[in-house]
Amino acid sequence: MGWIGEAMESIRSLRIRQVASQAISLGMIVTSALIIWKALICITGSESPVVVVLSESMEPGFQRGDILFLRMSKEPIRAGEIVVFNVDGRPIPIVHRVHEQSDNGEVDVLTKGDNNKLDDRILYAPGQLWLQQHHIMGRAVGFLPYAGWVTIIMTEKPIFKVC
């Protein structure tokens, strides 16, 4: 019975090593992803350098599920540019085109989805008529078609939600 006990102990120690090795590998993957994300934030100047288009409001230019790459620069935002912005009181950023600039000397802009009939003032906070610079998260500088569907499915399908 001695050699069986030694064999079992050997198997247990092997499993512990495998589990530890897998845990360390997973930790390195997560750490690498966070480092890459932080590096992208520094390089692009945007608090969220990658976003997923969640609605059909920008069709035909961007489809639901497209991934947009953002960059924030000090250059003034101009009409026609596609921007991602946050609205006070809304947790999810919005991807729309700058429709109009204000004439008040500020960097205030009015946005509109390409597939929408009206501008976005209805989406803004009550009483807000323009977006200011602090609302803008970044400008779209590139996109990857349909690659964001994994994110959409994981957030919309109840089977993937964790309580």
66 is an active site residue: no
Give the DSSP H or E segment for 7.
helix 2-44
Q: Which of 46, 57, 66, 135 is catalytic?
A: 57
Sign for the CA dihedral angle at 150, 155, 160, 162 comes to positive
- Distances in Å between the Cα of 90 and the Cα atoms of 61, 86, 93, 94 are 24, 7, 8, 9
Bridge partner list, 96: 83
Question: Which of 63, 69, 80, 36 has its CA nearest to residue 137?
Answer: 69
Question: Is 120 a known active-site residue?
Answer: yes
99 is catalytic: no
Which is catalytic among the residues 46, 66, 120, 135? 120
- Contact status, residue 83 vs residue 140, Cβ threshold 8 Å: yes
Q: Which of 10, 55, 88, 96 is catalytic?
A: 96
Residues known to be catalytic: 57, 96, 120
